[in-house]
Chains A and B, each alone.
Chain A
Amino acid sequence: MQLNPSEISDLIKKKIENFDLSAEAHTEGTVVSVTDGIVRVHGLSEAMQGEMLEFPGNTFGMALNLERDSVGVVVLGSYQHITEGDVVKCTGKILEVPVGEALLGRVVDALGNPIDGKGAINTTETAPIEKIAPGVIARQSVDQPVQIGLKSIDAMIPIGRGQRELIIGDRQTGKTAIAIDAIINQKNTGIKCIYVAIGQKRSSVANVVRKLEEHGAMAHTIVVVASASESAAMQFIAPYTGCSMGEFFRDRGEDALIIYDDLTKQAWAYRQVSLLLRRPPGREAYPGDVFYLHSRLLERASRINAAEVEKLTDGRVKGKTGSLTALPIIETQGGDVSAFVPTNVISITDGQIFLESNLFNSGIRPAVNAGLSVSRVGGAAQTKIIKKLGGGTRLDLAQYRELAAFAQFASDLDESTRKQIERGQRVTELMKQNQYSPMSVAQMAVSLFAANEGFLDSVEVNKVLDFEAALQLYMKSEHAELMNNINATGDFSNEISSGLRAAIETFVKTHSW
């Protein structure tokens, strides 16, 4: 946009005209010490916990420790220009960030400022970053699915709208990959996504954003970034910022999905801030309220009923429920899930997707450990057809795991055991899926049906994926109507069952894989 000088002076004139000339009353204090982003301020007797405080040079801080004679403040952003004796003013506001539709497709920092070079964001509303989660009366049980688009997850560990499902695993096990696939699969579903990157390399974040753009998934996504180079305070508040942005959609009767990647780093950032504030360290040097740090965040992911949505929108939206689904990510060290933060988050969430590095390295990707992964509420939300067909998959894999150790004595085993092992090997193979290629409900149903009905038993183990790919292609070209029908209804009727059987039988006869 080109502006000529007269326009600029008009703009300034208008601003001056509208300038409110009342005397400004506030409480103020003086900086006593500045240490590693923590500022101690004398005075500020009326400061609130979590209040936004104004430093000189348009810098803001958040009051975290309210003591008898001083206030401990974390500076949000750079603190190099703050010196002893500087005046600090109260703003009377809890820290707020912009929220709204305008943020979709944008990359912002933990305070909601754009960092993608696409100019200012035209938001009209702001929301405090810390809010109390909806109460019991406002809630509704989870009964609609969020399709992740991965066979192994949608079939065995279903996720419902408003659920909190933890993705946990060592480094390099594909945690982020699952999250990105989940975002890509929400294209055209109306679910808005928020990806919160905490303490990550800027290059990884840029990669994620590029991948989302390539797959056309940025249009329904907000990316909140507090990279490794930003201050610990920013990394600490980033998840709350993202959550407030997601709650905006939830409270308007829409559905949103938020991914916290990852909460381990947020806990580290909070530990740093707490130790610098001289709060007493506890287990693993985390402060005493590290459980509350995550529980209050994840509690805000919820499904709220139509009455609550109506109340929150002043009656503008009627008869629609809202939801915010959370997929927090936790990185474990050497597969140790009994460390402090992993156990906390496991106990807060409604289930976990457990990823294992030895599965990942043996080529099973996504590396989901079907035995340790659970979804406590997702079953009620699962699409009927997947629920019916996926149950068998879980069972097949469970039986296979028990017998897998005997697999090498295949020749000495009895017929039924051998069959179970063979089925298990094929199902394990079938659960493999490439990154960035989410499947629709119908596609999953076809694959699962083929496994359940034993069509895979005659296929060699290393040919299973080829078989699947060819089958999907065949179904797409020859039975598009049946597929559309499944996608539309999600039901599993006799008609659909016989349709699938007939189609796969014809396909098997062609031997075209």
Chain B
Amino acid sequence: MSELATLARPYAAAVFKRAKETHSTTMWSKSLAFMSAVLKNEDISVVVDNPKVNKERLSALMLDICQGHVNDENENFLNLLVHNNRLSLVPSIARLFEAYKAEDEGYVEVEVLTAYALSKEAKQTLAATLEKNLGKKIHMNVTVDKSLIGGVLVRAGDRVIDGSIRGRLQQLAKRL
């Protein structure tokens, strides 16, 4: 995973720079998300990994699938990746691109796991507290996970704030 990030970084940086120039970061973000979703599909990944499929056929296939979701620049980018045999990097590139975008626009992606669905007010208070705590604007993504038993678990990049009952039970188990 770490090696993939190293390989993907120059591509992501280049894409982000170009997107900034053409003021199309949102559009790029969408198309990259679409491309990585395509590549995560098992049938596609079999084709991509198959050495018998030559580059021309592969780009034709990719462009065909992505038709309607990509513009000319996206197509050029796809062709470049196929040419360099780096098509499998797309998910990593997409992730790094989002990171660049978040840094540029000054927010952090925060993943919140809760045991029970949160009310709107609770969400707002949580968001406000987290923004204060992390010192940045946040984009919150809330999911419900029953296995937490209770409480919340917040994940912002590498940082984890574990306020769940499950986490506390694990801590207690270790202490005893």
With a CB–CB cut-off of 8 A, which chain B residues contact A67?
A: 2
Q: Is B53 an interface residue (CB 8 A)?
A: no
Would B172 and A44 count as touching, CB distance under 8 A? no
Say yes or no: A45-B2 contact (C-beta < 8 A), given A15-B176, A19-B172.
Answer: no
- 5 CB-based A-B contacts, threshold 8 Å: A24-B167, A25-B159, A28-B160, A45-B158, A69-B1
Give the complex CA separation of A42 and B158 in angstroms. 9
Residue of A with least CB distance to B96: A69
With a CB–CB cut-off of 8 A, which chain A residues contact B159?
A: 25-27, 46
Q: Is A91 an interface residue (CB 8 A)?
A: no
Give the complex CA separation of A29 and B159 in angstroms. 9
Give the complex CA separation of A12 and B176 in angstroms. 7
Q: How many residues of B contact A (CB 8 A)?
A: 20
For residue B91, give the distance in angstroms from its CB to the closest CB of chain A.
14
Q: Is B171 an interface residue (CB 8 A)?
A: yes
Would B160 and A27 count as touching, CB distance under 8 A? yes
Would B158 and A24 count as touching, CB distance under 8 A? no
Q: Which of A42-89 contact B (CB under 8 A)?
A: 42-46, 58, 67-70, 89
Task: Determine the interface band of chain A, counting residues with CB < 8 A from chain B.
Answer: 20 to 34
Residue of A with least CB distance to B168: A21
For residue B140, give the distance in angstroms from its CB to the closest CB of chain A.
17
Say yes or no: A27-B161 contact (C-beta < 8 A), given A16-B172, A67-B2, A69-B5.
Answer: no
Q: Is A30 an interface residue (CB 8 A)?
A: yes
Among B1, B157, B160, the most chain A Cβ lie within 10 Å of the Cβ of: B1
Would A46 and B158 count as touching, CB distance under 8 A? yes
Identify B157's interface contact among A25, A26, A45, A68, CB under 8 A: A45
Give the complex CA separation of A68 and B10 in angstroms. 13
Q: Is B175 an interface residue (CB 8 A)?
A: yes
Give the complex CA separation of A90 and B105 in angstroms. 28
Identify A24's interface contact among B1, B2, B161, CB under 8 A: B161
With a CB–CB cut-off of 8 A, which chain B residues contact A30?
A: 1
Give the complex CA separation of A241 and B168 in angstroms. 32
Residue of B with least CB distance to A89: B160
Would B158 and A58 count as touching, CB distance under 8 A? no
Give the complex CA separation of A70 and B158 in angstroms. 12
For residue B163, give the distance in angstroms from its CB to the closest CB of chain A.
3
Q: Is B125 an interface residue (CB 8 A)?
A: no
Give the complex CA separation of A26 and B160 in angstroms. 5
For residue B123, give the distance in angstroms from its CB to the closest CB of chain A.
18
Say yes or no: A23-B163 contact (C-beta < 8 A), given A12-B176, A45-B157, A58-B174.
Answer: yes
Would B6 and A68 count as touching, CB distance under 8 A? yes
Say yes or no: A23-B175 contact (C-beta < 8 A), given A32-B2, A68-B6, A69-B5.
Answer: no
List residues of A whose CB falls within 8 A of some B CB: 12, 15-16, 19, 21, 23-30, 32, 40, 42-46, 58, 67-70, 89
With a CB–CB cut-off of 8 A, which chain B residues contact A28?
A: 158, 160
Would B5 and A42 count as touching, CB distance under 8 A? yes
Q: Is B162 an interface residue (CB 8 A)?
A: yes
Among A24, A29, A40, the most chain B Cβ lie within 10 Å of the Cβ of: A24
Would B162 and A23 count as touching, CB distance under 8 A? yes
A-B contact sample (11 more), CB < 8 A, given A23-B163, A29-B158: A16-B172, A23-B161, A24-B162, A24-B163, A24-B167, A45-B158, A46-B159, A68-B5, A69-B5, A69-B6, A89-B160
Identify B1's interface contact among A15, A42, A46, A58, CB under 8 A: A42
With a CB–CB cut-off of 8 A, which chain A residues contact B151?
A: 23
Please list the 4 inter-chain residue pairs (A to B) with the smallest Cβ-Cβ separation, ordered nearest first.
A70-B2, A23-B163, A69-B2, A69-B5
Q: Which of B28-79 contact A (CB under 8 A)?
A: none
With a CB–CB cut-off of 8 A, which chain A residues contact B175?
A: 15, 19
Give the complex CA separation of A26 and B1 in angstroms. 21
Residue of B with least CB distance to A20: B171
Identify B162's interface contact among A12, A16, A25, CB under 8 A: A25
For residue A146, give the distance in angstroms from its CB to the closest CB of chain B.
43
Residue of B with least CB distance to A26: B160
Give the complex CA separation of A32 and B176 in angstroms. 30
Would A25 and B158 count as touching, CB distance under 8 A? no
Give the complex CA separation of A26 and B153 in angstroms. 11
Give the complex CA separation of A89 and B161 in angstroms. 12
Residue of B with least CB distance to A21: B168
With a CB–CB cut-off of 8 A, which chain A residues contact B176?
A: 12, 15
Residue of A with least CB distance to B164: A23
With a CB–CB cut-off of 8 A, which chain A residues contact B163?
A: 23-24
For residue B133, give the distance in angstroms from its CB to the closest CB of chain A.
9
With a CB–CB cut-off of 8 A, which chain A residues contact B174?
A: 58
For residue A68, give the distance in angstroms from its CB to the closest CB of chain B.
7
For residue A148, give the distance in angstroms from its CB to the closest CB of chain B.
46
For residue A162, give the distance in angstroms from its CB to the closest CB of chain B.
41
Residue of A with least CB distance to B163: A23
Give the complex CA separation of A16 and B174 in angstroms. 12
Give the complex CA separation of A28 and B158 in angstroms. 5
Residue of B with least CB distance to A32: B1
Among A25, A67, A69, the most chain B Cβ lie within 10 Å of the Cβ of: A69
For residue B105, give the distance in angstroms from its CB to the closest CB of chain A.
20
For residue A89, give the distance in angstroms from its CB to the closest CB of chain B.
8
Residue of B with least CB distance to A28: B160
Q: Which of B130-173 contact A (CB under 8 A)?
A: 151, 157-163, 167-168, 171-172
Say yes or no: A24-B5 contact (C-beta < 8 A), given A15-B176, A44-B158.
Answer: no
Would A24 and B172 count as touching, CB distance under 8 A? no
For residue B96, give the distance in angstroms from its CB to the closest CB of chain A.
10
Residue of A with least CB distance to B133: A25
Residue of A with least CB distance to B172: A19
Would B158 and A27 count as touching, CB distance under 8 A? yes
Residue of B with least CB distance to A68: B6
Among B159, B171, B172, the most chain A Cβ lie within 10 Å of the Cβ of: B159
